[in-house]
Amino acid sequence: MSDAPKSRRRSGGRAARTAARSQKLDVDKRPVRPGLPGGQYRPLSEVDVARINEAALTALEEIGFASAPPSGVEILTGAGAIMGDDGRIRFPRALVEDMLAIAARGITLCGRDPAHDISLQGTNTHFGTAGAAVHMVNVDTGDYREPSMQDLYDAARIVESLDNLHFFQRPVVCREFEDNLELDLHTLYAACAGTTKHVGTSFTEAANVGPCLELLHEIAGGEDAFRARPFVSNSNCFVVPPLTFAEESCEVMEACIHGGMPVLLLSAGQAGATAPAPIATAVVQAVAECLAAVVYVNALAPGHTAMFGTWPFVSDLRTGAMSGGSGEQALLTAACAQMHQFYGLPGGAAAGIADSKLPDMQAGWEQAISNVMAGLAGLNMVYEAAGMHASLMGFCFESLVLGNDMLGQVQRCVRGVEVLEEYVSIETMKSVVLDGPGHYLGHDQTLRLMQSEYIYPEIADRSSPKEWVEKGKPLLIDNAKARVAAILGRDGHKFTDTQEAALRARFDLRPLSRP
């Protein structure tokens, strides 16, 4: 007799909790949201930061950069850099400090939908894709295949549907295009057709920037509209580490700046290969390289929107292969976030890369560790945060949706523990322990906070073993495949039929497959 009322009360409480969870909160009331401030984790002491800065400035003064394009030589020497007899451009520290003083801060990266704007203030954190993988992962067979424009479009559509991925930088290369201009145009078209979040892309050569800007102007409704709200940024590998300008990329950067496009100044040395083996010195080189780019950009266009993209990677020194899922990678990224904050510049770096070839347990720990450390370090833009395998060689749709769950938990860690007056009051404990049922399951406070204080996974399974058996013992990867199929089964195209027809006619674009 006594068991029946308890069972009814428990069932009613569970039903109420389930009903409450099904009601989606406004963004500002959710337990996690874009731009949560990090900065709780600081692997470098203040003395360490100062020493890295000093070493970077010394490297720019004494070693300098080789292979600037003629336009870059003119821009940099005109600002006060010194061309040496050995052909290397050196940067007096006063020049670097002057350019840091006028560099853009507190910037906003626009989405095509203003709801997706990203404010890069302080230690605000945002997670997104990147990687430019040359393979797609088939989770059913374990095979890798070449990606296509359709894969890029589908990836953008999936990211559009995932709350914990805040921007979309191309995660795959469309391998069907041999012509570079076709590749660059179709990359932009597929990305913008799939998402209204901020898009990052690369251009293969400077001559392609103009036609691509024309495409973006058409999407935006004119050049002035794009310049007012540039919803695409250029991910620019301006440097071939160590300390050598990439001439074609520098020319691309100049063209993008002239076109009003934000730029990510990306230095991607590999510790033990193209960057020094010590983690601290790898950070020194990345910082020095990005400081040179800060001078370059601000000498050309003072205050232009640019992100400080220190992306040092790690080598497995036994083989020389890249190891993106290592603890050392997580430390590098977190240390770089601290350096961004030291300069007060908006910054981005890599995290979330798995060396594992499939979305398995190894991939889970590799992706989670670096994302947590990047978020807690207050990295503004966490690139490659989900979906990437085989040290950036492979991209996986199922891993992308699993990563969305993982990033929800990461952001909850970043948000931290809020010690409000209500939470340290013992009145709720008194009412439950002394006057109530001895548990908090149905308490008003529990029901009120269950959505705003706690985040619940969409894909991960938290059921009991008995419930799991009753559901047919679903595997995590099966849940992910179902989620991908559900997203791609509905039409999420972001151009109207009129826009679509105009774009394809003007730029001779290939069609995309839609549900």
Count CB atoms within 10 A of the CB of residue 345: 22
Would you say 60 and 97 are in contact if contact means Cβ atoms under 8 Å apart? no
Q: Is the pLDDT of residue 17 over 70?
A: no
Helix intervals (H) in 327-433: 327-343, 361-376, 397-415, 421-424, 427-430
Q: Cα separations (Å) of 125 from 28, 39, 51, 174, 222? A: 15, 9, 26, 29, 31
- Given this model, what pLDDT does residue 438 score? 93
Q: Is the pLDDT of residue 16 over 90?
A: no
In 3D, which of 382, 437, 450, 440 has the Cα closest to residue 411? 382
How high does pLDDT run on average in the chain? 94
Q: Is the pLDDT of residue 23 over 90?
A: no
> From CA 344, how far away is CA 341, in angstroms rounded?
5
Please tell me the least confidently modeled range out of 13-17, 64-68, 254-258, 409-413.
Answer: 13-17
Q: Where are the domains of the chain?
A: 100-415
Would you say 176 and 137 are in contact if contact means Cβ atoms under 8 Å apart? no
Backbone dihedral region of 132: left (phi > 0), alpha (psi from -120 to 50 degrees) or beta? left
> From CA 100, how far away is CA 297, in angstroms rounded?
11
> From CA 232, how far away is CA 259, in angstroms rounded?
11
Q: 13 falls in which pLDDT band (50, 70, 90)?
A: low
pLDDT in tens, 96-128: 999 999 999 999 999 999 999 999 999 999 999
Q: What is the DSSP letter of 435?
A: I
225-258 burial code (b ≥16 CB/10 A, e <16): ebeeebbbbbbbbbbbbbbebbbbbbbbbbbbbe
Q: 18 falls in which pLDDT band (50, 70, 90)?
A: low
pLDDT in tens, 271-321: 999 999 999 999 999 999 999 999 999 999 999 999 999 999 998 889 988
Pairing outcome for strands 36-37 and 124-127: antiparallel
> From CA 76, how far away is CA 299, in angstroms rounded?
7
Please tell me the least confidently modeled range out of 240-254, 439-453, 467-481.
Answer: 439-453
Contacting residues for 8 by C-beta, under 8 A, at least 6 apart: none
> From CA 269, how far away is CA 337, in angstroms rounded?
16
Q: Is the pLDDT of residue 7 over 70?
A: no
CA dihedral in degrees (432, 434, 438, 443; nearest 10)? Answer: -10
- Given this model, what pLDDT does residue 3 score? 45
Q: Is the pLDDT of residue 21 over 60?
A: no
Superfamily (CATH H level) for 100-415: Trimethylamine methyltransferase-like (3.20.20.480)
Would you say 369 and 330 are in contact if contact means Cβ atoms under 8 Å apart? yes
The strand pairing partners of 270, in sequence order, are 313
Handedness of CA 376, 377, 381, 385 (dihedral sign): negative
pLDDT in tens, 265-284: 999 999 999 999 999 999 99
Residue that is written with structure tokens 């904050």 in the block:
341
Q: 27 falls in which pLDDT band (50, 70, 90)?
A: confident
Element (H, E) at 316: strand 313-316
Element (H, E) at 313: strand 313-316
Q: Cα separations (Å) of 435 from 242, 286, 429? A: 69, 61, 9
Would you say 353 and 326 are in contact if contact means Cβ atoms under 8 Å apart? no
- Given this model, what pLDDT does residue 11 score? 45
- Given this model, what pLDDT does residue 1 score? 39
Q: What is the DSSP letter of 179?
A: S
Q: Is the pLDDT of residue 19 over 70?
A: no
In 3D, which of 372, 384, 296 has the Cα closest to residue 331? 372
Mean predicted confidence (pLDDT) in 358-368 = 97
Q: Cα Rg for the chain, rounded, in angstroms? A: 24
